[in-house]
Amino acid sequence: MDSGNQLAIEAVDLIKVFGAHQSQIRALDGLTLSVNRGEVFGLIGPDGAGKSTLTRTLLGLLLPDEGSSRVLGWDSLRSAHRIRGRVGYIAQEFSLPPDLTVIENLRFFADVHGLPRQRREAMMPELLAFSGLEQFTGRLAARLSGGMKKKLALACSLIHSPDVLLLDEPTLGVDPVSRREFWALLGRLNTERQVTVMVCTPYMDEAERCSRVGLMYQGRMVAADTPAAIKARLPTHLLELTPRPYRHAAEALIGLDGVLEVQRYGRLLHVFVESPRAQADIERRLALQDIECVACRQIAPRMEQAFVWLMSRIEGTS
């Protein structure tokens, strides 16, 4: 391992093909990736983009057909055992032994990692406090709520004090409050312990929390940058309008010169325009329809809007 390497994760020209002949699927298609030590890197992309395949390849659970990858300086093929000793992993289909209690699950995963008894007993109280599970040590995993199961899964993945966390959609199907609590725990791990986190997520608000975001499509990394830089790629301006009456306001703007797209958000309209100067034309068009523009302001696009725009351009050229 190269201790001076500032990259926690790196992949170069990874190719992974499933199936044979005409039924082949290129899950990874020349993918290149780098994740710096100490950052939180989010992977987003549509279903089938190759996010889970990439994670498993990095861990040495899948063998690539071409290309190479390294985690903490170790080659994923030659040093998979060492990597797994330094990486915490929560798979998309990760499930805790349901007939074990919270404390028994922690002991089970400590045994899996071969932790000495003294170190194991020292780690468990810290992890229980960290995850907020001190009051539930005797509860069966099967009887935990969805959010508590995720917290226990995180605690179990941390029992061996990893330097890197690889998380494959860890909050999928969890309520918003539990998702926020889970991400608060990830934030503490990153800031207090400098743990590097790479997380696949379908939630754009979670992507906003990351240091950098990578957009995967058909096995390729098509964009990787900070959330602000990703959003800045939109070559448009976004206006937020409050029309009154609201009915038919969106239809009145479709096709207007300078208006690229109109989206409805409750009683608000988000209007993508070529230039903020289009506001005057928008207000004029609405007035012709007896619709008042009560308020209009330019706002920054959200990650979801940037993601949809980038995906539409990629699919339009593929």
Please, what is the angle between helix 117-131 and helix 176-193, to 10°? Answer: 130
Task: Give the per-residue pLDDT at 4.
Answer: 47
Residue 59 has pLDDT above 90, yes or no: yes
Q: 43 φ, ψ to 5°?
A: -105, 125
Task: Give the per-residue pLDDT at 95.
Answer: 79
What letter would DSSP give residue 195? -
Contact status, residue 200 vs residue 213, Cβ threshold 8 Å? no
Residue 206 has pLDDT above 70, yes or no: yes
Kindly state the average pLDDT of the residues 54-62. 95
Please, what is the angle between helix 117-131 and helix 102-112, to 10°? Answer: 130
Task: Give the per-residue pLDDT at 318.
Answer: 54
Q: Whole-number mean pLDDT of the chain? A: 91
SS3 labels along 27-82: EEEEEEEEEECCCEEEEECCCCCCHHHHHHHHCCCCCCCEEEEEECCEECCCCHHH
State pLDDT tens for residues 99-143. Answer: 999 999 999 999 999 999 899 888 999 999 999 999 999 999 999
Domain annotation for the chain: domains and CATH numbers: 7-230 (3.40.50.300), 235-300 (3.30.70.100)
Kindly state the average pLDDT of the residues 207-221. 94
What confidence category does residue 243 fall into, taking pLDDT thresholds of 50, 70 and 90? very high
Token representation of residue 10: 């790196």
Bridge partners, residue 197, by sequence? 40, 165
- Per DSSP, the residues of 122-148 read HHHHHHHHHHT-GGGTTSBGGGS-HHH
Among the residues of 94-239, which ranges form H helices? 102-112, 117-131, 146-157, 176-193, 204-207, 227-231
